[in-house]
Structure 1
Amino acid sequence: MLSRPLFLAFLCAAAVQAHPQIDVLYATDPSTSMLRSTGYIRGYEGHIDVLETYHLMDPNVTTALCMDTQQTPTYSSMYPMLTAKPGDNITATYLENGHVTADVLAPDERPHPGNYSWLWGGAPNLELTNVAQMFDVNNLLAGPFNFDDGKCAVAAGNEFGGDRVASPCVSTFYLPDDLETGIYNIVWAWHFPKIPPCTAGAPVEFYTSCADIYVDAS
């Protein structure tokens, strides 16, 4: 039987055609640009696609918005929950995995990176649990944003990457400045239009990453 480290290495090697997930989140004081804290998504064990990437293909309104391992706030000392103050700048990183610089998709033989949004319950300890809540505009925290941040690339020299160097994509938004102390559930939801929506029979395809922010309003 493979040891857990070898098993995880095997999973990483097997997931070459991977899809994105949020990896790291940062909270920064907007008045000083000083880093306040670093945090991760729920259940994070170190970029392991098959354990942390959640694919929603043609979901219905009752489909779970978070994967099984991200339906409760689970963190570790190595990969803690993000902490922040009201009004902080939140930055998150994800890998484009070729969806910006390498995909060759019909009908135009180019990437279709799509858009993503940040969702939340809007109050401490209020969870978003299903796809119906994803489409509720009252749960929109920030976005929608272009999946392509204009700089990221899986590697240098990709067909559609131009002169970009290998670097993760960066997402940034601000927390409202009137938040009360508590834990806020947030969800990164990426709509991947692999097949253009205007195409007959085109599926609806989403990926999500679920996380939490402990906001200290004191």
Structure 2
Amino acid sequence: MLKHVTFLFSLLCSNVVQAHTWIDCIDTDRSVVYDGSRQYIYGGSSANGMCAGYMKDYPGRGDANINTEMTFKILMADVAKSAPLCTADAWDYSGWRHRLSVSVGQPFYYGYLPNGHVAKDQAARGTYYGVYWTGTPGTSLDTTPDLSSDKLIDGQLHDFDDGNCGETYTDLAGTIPSGRAGDGYPCMGSVTMPAGTAAGIYNLVWFWKFYNAEVNSTIKTTGGSYGGAAYTSCFQVEVTAGTAEDVTLTPSATTGTPTTAPEATSATPSATTSTPMTTSPTTADPETTTPSTMTPEATDATYSPQKQ
């Protein structure tokens, strides 16, 4: 009994929690990614193939081990080193696992779950991700030093919090509405294939720093300290119509979005007009617990080109 109590106490006092975030669905139709999200999040293997594109090695939500198979984590201290960005597995877009196909100038959309870090502990607000590529078909970005700002496909970093996503309630008891989209709805991002992109297959990397990138530290909120690692999703896009020459990579667009992420804060943005769900789905959403019940992240873990 004493050992059990001691374990629970250490769990409650843990200062670092897991993120477990990846891209689940990619499509040129935003409604598939957003409106259809509860189908592919909670529908198990029956939803396999409903999206036009998937990330590398995606097993589908029907796989009981998806949490470990799709979490590609790079510890904060290793980001400055030559850490691999993707698994070493061969690309496999067979069966229902589609490679996204787009035309030049065509936007596509992707979704990733907030996993409690927007509506609950709020630690991911003000943290940033980017989508990177080489701009040349058949080539890839392999290690973290390759992720320079001129490799951002749209020239921008993006706030992990899209201003809409977040679980239905801010507390585990389900008594405090978040004013966010609700359980099962993802955070959304989009990319438009740049003018001048040659036809071919491109390797892209979604790279999120879940830590204060200004000072390389974890993020402290009222519930504790969070983050301490970067997370990636690697995927391919086939451009079916383009020019005969490679796209010219450009520096950051002058849209006000930084290419160097500012210090993360825990400030709460204004609630969106999305109507929060009144009930939570019966199938558990990964990691929607409050900080006091979240599983502590192993601080001595290392990145791996295979499974985390």
- The TM tier, using the shorter chain, reads 0.7 to 0.9
Q: Is 2:130 the counterpart of 1:112?
A: no
Following TM superposition, by how much is the alpha carbon of 1:76 offset from its aligned partner in structure 2, in angstroms? 2.4
User: Structure 2 vs 1, CA of residues 116 and 102 (structure 1 numbering), >3 Å: closer, same or farther?
Assistant: same
Following TM superposition, by how much is the alpha carbon of 1:79 offset from its aligned partner in structure 2, in angstroms? 1.4
8 Å Cα contact 1:88/1:174 also seen in 2: yes
User: Structure 2 vs 1, CA of residues 200 and 53 (structure 1 numbering), >3 Å: closer, same or farther?
Assistant: closer
Query: Runs of 5+ in structure 2 lacking a partner?
Result: 1-16, 31-50, 220-226, 243-308
Match among 93, 99, 111 for residue 117 of structure 2: 99
Q: Which amino acid aligns with 1:21?
A: W
Following TM superposition, by how much is the alpha carbon of 1:112 offset from its aligned partner in structure 2, in angstroms? 3.5
Following TM superposition, by how much is the alpha carbon of 1:161 offset from its aligned partner in structure 2, in angstroms? 6.6
8 Å Cα contact 1:39/1:82 also seen in 2: yes
8 Å Cα contact 1:17/1:97 also seen in 2: no
1:91-170 alignment runs, 5 A limit = 91-103=109-121, 110-113=122-125, 114-134=127-147, 136-142=148-154, 143-153=156-166, 155-159=167-171, 162-164=178-180, 165-166=182-183, 167-170=185-188
Match among 38, 51, 60 for residue 46 of structure 1: 60
Q: Summarize deviations over 1:96-121 as a string: whole Å, max 9, x none.
A: 00111112xxxxxx523311000001
User: Identity of paired residues, percent?
Assistant: 29
Tell me how far apart the structure 2 counterparts of residues 27 and 197 of structure 1 sit (CA, whole Å): 34
Q: Which amino acid aligns with 2:53?
A: G
Following TM superposition, by how much is the alpha carbon of 1:183 offset from its aligned partner in structure 2, in angstroms? 0.2
Q: Which moved more, 1:183-192 or 1:162-171?
A: 162-171
TM-score between both structures, scaled by the size of structure 1 = 0.76
User: Structure 2 vs 1, CA of residues 18 and 199 (structure 1 numbering), >3 Å: closer, same or farther?
Assistant: closer
Tell me how far apart the structure 1 counterparts of residues 214 and 95 of structure 2 sit (CA, whole Å): 42
* Counterpart in the other structure of 2:206: 188
* Counterpart in the other structure of 1:19: 20
Which has more strand, going by share of residues?
Answer: 1
Following TM superposition, by how much is the alpha carbon of 1:138 offset from its aligned partner in structure 2, in angstroms? 2.3
Tell me how far apart the structure 1 counterparts of residues 110 and 150 of structure 2 sit (CA, whole Å): 22
User: Structure 2 vs 1, CA of residues 38 and 181 (structure 1 numbering), >3 Å: closer, same or farther?
Assistant: same
Query: Runs of 5+ in structure 1 lacking a partner?
Result: 1-15, 30-36, 104-109
Following TM superposition, by how much is the alpha carbon of 1:94 offset from its aligned partner in structure 2, in angstroms? 0.5
> Partner of 1:207: helix, strand, or coil?
strand
Following TM superposition, by how much is the alpha carbon of 1:196 offset from its aligned partner in structure 2, in angstroms? 7.3
Q: Which amino acid aligns with 1:89?
A: P
* Counterpart in the other structure of 1:66: 86
User: Structure 2 vs 1, CA of residues 162 and 201 (structure 1 numbering), >3 Å: closer, same or farther?
Assistant: closer
> Partner of 1:138: helix, strand, or coil?
helix
8 Å Cα contact 2:101/2:238 also seen in 1: yes
* Counterpart in the other structure of 2:74: 56
Tell me how far apart the structure 2 counterparts of residues 51 and 158 of structure 1 sit (CA, whole Å): 28
8 Å Cα contact 1:102/1:161 also seen in 2: no
Tell me how far apart the structure 1 counterparts of residues 124 and 238 of structure 2 sit (CA, whole Å): 34
8 Å Cα contact 2:130/2:207 also seen in 1: yes
Tell me how far apart the structure 2 counterparts of residues 179 and 199 of structure 1 sit (CA, whole Å): 35
TM-score between both structures, scaled by the size of structure 2 = 0.55
User: Structure 2 vs 1, CA of residues 162 and 54 (structure 1 numbering), >3 Å: closer, same or farther?
Assistant: same
Q: Which amino acid aligns with 1:212?
A: Q
8 Å Cα contact 1:101/1:161 also seen in 2: no
Note the aligned Cα RMSD (angstroms): 2.7
Tell me how far apart the structure 1 counterparts of residues 117 and 100 of structure 2 sit (CA, whole Å): 27
How many pairs does the alignment contain? 185
